[in-house]
A and B are shown apart, each in its own frame.
Chain A
């Protein structure tokens, strides 16, 4: 124990330009800390993260005044890596570092003497832990220069192309018989008016010309094992099953269009009530113009079309009827407003005689160049009506022989008067629902939101990443988005995949469990407690000429949770960087302060 008490801890306390020093008496803290056991140096600086601040640490390390470092400043999520980097530049091991957060946990929430006292306590605990820190080496795992993209829609294809362009082999696994996903169902894309099929043809040509992309259509991933850099996927084809070894996985499992239930706005009851995808398909199949000048559907001229927004989106508990599984789609599907107006414009510009009534709850053609769709629709004499969620339009059989259907609407734009809209065709702007990947998500331990879309770690700090290392996501499996946005997300996921795999080696934080072979008796309690399958197992090893059973950690898979350390009766397993004796010293220091 004496040896550890020889450790020379340097404590560096930050003013954060007043953020901390306005509430914490930083110099008083420094005076108290200086007298603490093991503290060799205690210094303050206006900004520890600045170059002069970092130089303080580097100089003291180089001159041998200190061999352990504590910085008391902001949250470690912001600058822990900054200070580890400074220590590395001084030629020392970056893991002899401990952080005390005296901004978010002190100066931003406490004031006056209690703030100064709490800062002192946190720093004394950090200094006590620092004395017990040992140098660690990052875990290096070999990474296979190969990626699997699950889903062959536009997001999947685009990320596969980008990954392949960077010299990494890619396999695309697509559930259906062909690539292209939902783009196969779209016609002219908003706002540019390009044909989805032209874009798809161009991009599929590139995929076929790329030798490093393998395509598996009609295949599903049934299970995923392994860890970052070394995954194994079980893939089930129509006739055979096989395995793929890969370094990283991109989830691009996409979405489907909401299917209205029987009777929702007359869907399924009247053949003249159709969904937006059905209309888009009809527009694709239709002649550019007709002799009558009307748009024709099912061989019949269409004089009036009513289009109803927000079908299967923005549903409100208590107003909308949930699905059998209790599901309500409370989110906005975002793309339908533009899609409806895009279809309305195509109709009006090709079949001028056909009248379009657009019934919205709210309308927003978000995105660059898309507001013009509304202006165009207005110029094309589309009539807009507005309904409220608690007074939805109803679709009924018409009481007159002129039209098959009547849409009854309480129109907010006509001062909430009840209106009867005669219609030949009613189009429901159905929203976006994520493809059902619940089985795969639970097998891979991927987080899923209550809206059933997959969840990234953080939209700004770690976009398109999952908490499971080596797994990324792209496209509408994450949220409703249009084809352009799906491609953006695909590019981001591809860039992160390439950055991860390009070196062939991945460095992971060394904060994982380690077994002390002198103490381990092979009870196996730790294996039972372990929450990560494959991270901990019992193996037979040779010790002193005898075969004994002991626990063994697969460092790359260990999550560093410490569940094993808590249950070991021999205290034979511990967590690097967060060891039990470090905690004990921290508690002692807190009590003493």
Chain B
């Protein structure tokens, strides 16, 4: 259970160009991702949309499996640029790791 934080979207802007809210949860990114992780990267994009900051930090190890092949960004029908967002999330995680 997480409390959603709609300001997170602003907060992330310092780490990447945040296009997460363009996503309409179609799942194409997850379908084409060569990693066999469940719902990656869609789940991360969704966590940004609802501002589930804790969930992102708890699952941060998933981010480091990403190969940055760019297939998700290439196929995204909404130009939400998932690849760039994942990169930005890594920066966010580094900045916030074990801060609390």
Contacts and interface: CB of A to CB of B under 8 A. Distances in A.
A30 to B, nearest CB: 63
A417 B1 contact: yes
Contact of B6 (A304, A379, A411, A415): A304
Contact of B21 (A378, A411, A421): A378
Given A413-B46, A414-B46, A414-B47, A381 B9 contact: yes
Contacts of A384: 24-25
A414 B52 contact: yes
A304 B4 CA distance: 11
B50 A419 contact: yes
B1 A419 contact: yes
Contact of A420 (B2, B9, B55): B2
Given A411-B50, A415-B43, A419-B50, A379 B22 contact: yes
A10 interface: no
Interface string B1-32: 11110100100000000000110110000000
Nearest to A383: B49
A104 interface: no
B39 interface: yes
Contacts of B22: 378-379
A493 interface: no
A378 B24 contact: yes
Nearest to B38: A415
Contacts of A417: 1-2, 52, 55
Interface in A371-405: 378-379, 381, 383-385
Contacts of B9: 381
B3 A420 contact: yes
Interface of B: 1-4, 6, 9, 21-22, 24-25, 39, 43, 46-47, 49-50, 52, 55, 78
For the complex of A and B, list the 5 residue pairs with the smallest distance between their C-beta atoms, beginning with the closest.
A355-B6, A418-B1, A420-B3, A381-B21, A413-B25
A422 B2 CA distance: 11
Nearest to B5: A422
Contacts of B3: 419-422
A383 B6 contact: yes
B43 A383 contact: no
A498 interface: no
Contacts of A415: 39, 43, 46
Contacts of A379: 22
Contacts of B43: 414-415
Interface in A416-448: 417-422
Contacts of B21: 378, 381, 383
Contacts of B78: 378
A357 interface: yes
A383 B6 CA distance: 9
A420 B50 CA distance: 10
A413 B27 CA distance: 10
A420 B1 contact: yes
A344 B78 CA distance: 20
B6 A357 contact: yes
29 contacts: A304-B6, A355-B6, A378-B22, A378-B24, A379-B22, A383-B4, A383-B21, A383-B50, A385-B50, A411-B50, A413-B25, A414-B46, A414-B47, A414-B50, A414-B52, A415-B39, A415-B43, A417-B1, A417-B2, A418-B1, A418-B2, A419-B3, A419-B50, A419-B52, A420-B1, A420-B3, A421-B3, A421-B4, A422-B3
B18 to A, nearest CB: 10
Could you say which of B4, B39, B49 has the most chain A C-beta atoms within 10 Å of its C-beta?
Answer: B4
A331 B45 CA distance: 34
B10 to A, nearest CB: 10
A388 to B, nearest CB: 15
A355 B78 CA distance: 21
Contacts of B2: 417-420
A407 B99 CA distance: 29
B38 to A, nearest CB: 9
A47 to B, nearest CB: 51
Contacts of A357: 4, 6
A452 B5 CA distance: 43
B56 to A, nearest CB: 12
Contacts of B1: 417-420
A434 to B, nearest CB: 34
Contacts of A385: 50
Contacts of B47: 414
Contacts of A381: 9, 21
Contacts of A421: 3-4
A442 to B, nearest CB: 48
A351 to B, nearest CB: 14
Contacts of B6: 304, 355, 357, 383
Interface string A348-379: 00000001010000000000000000000011
A383 B49 CA distance: 7
Given A383-B4, A383-B50, A417-B1, 15 more contacts: A304-B6, A357-B6, A378-B21, A378-B78, A411-B50, A413-B46, A414-B52, A417-B52, A417-B55, A418-B1, A418-B2, A419-B50, A420-B1, A420-B3, A422-B4
